[in-house]
Amino acid sequence: MTDKANIIQLIKSRRSIRQFQQRPIPTEVLIDCVDCARLAPSAMNLQPLEYMLVTAPELVERVFPHLAWAGYIRPYGNPEPGNLPVAYLIVLINKNRIKSRYANDVGAAVENFILAAWSFGIGTCWIGTIERTQLRQLLAIPEDFEVDSVIACGYPAESPVLEEKDDDVRYWKDEGRVFHVPKRPLKSVLHINKW
Question: With 90 as the cut, is the pLDDT of residue 53 above it?
Answer: yes
160-195 belongs to which homologous superfamily?
A: putative fmn-dependent nitroreductase like domains (2.20.180.10)
Paired residues of 90 in beta bridges:
52, 150
Q: Among residues 19, 155, 145, which one has the least CA distance to residue 90?
A: 145
Q: In the chain, which segments carry CATH 3.40.109.10?
A: 15-157
pLDDT tens by residue, 150-166: 999 999 999 999 999 99
Q: In the chain, which segments carry CATH 2.20.180.10?
A: 160-195
Contact residues for 188 (Cβ-Cβ < 8 A; gap 6+): 166
Its pTM stands at 0.93
pLDDT of amino acid 101: 59
State the Cα–Cα distance between residues 100 and 179, nearest whole angstrom. 38
pLDDT of amino acid 97: 82
pLDDT tens by residue, 95-105: 888 766 556 89
- Contact, 128 vs 146, CB < 8 A? no
pLDDT of amino acid 5: 75
Predicted confidence band of residue 74 (pLDDT cuts 50, 70, 90): confident
Mean pLDDT for the chain overall: 94
pLDDT of amino acid 100: 61
15-157 belongs to which homologous superfamily?
A: NADH Oxidase (3.40.109.10)
Phi and psi, residue 172, nearest 5°: -155, 165
For residues 64-68, average pLDDT = 97
State the Cα–Cα distance between residues 13 and 94, nearest whole angstrom. 32
Q: Is the peptide bond before 26 cis (omega within 30 degrees of 0)?
A: no
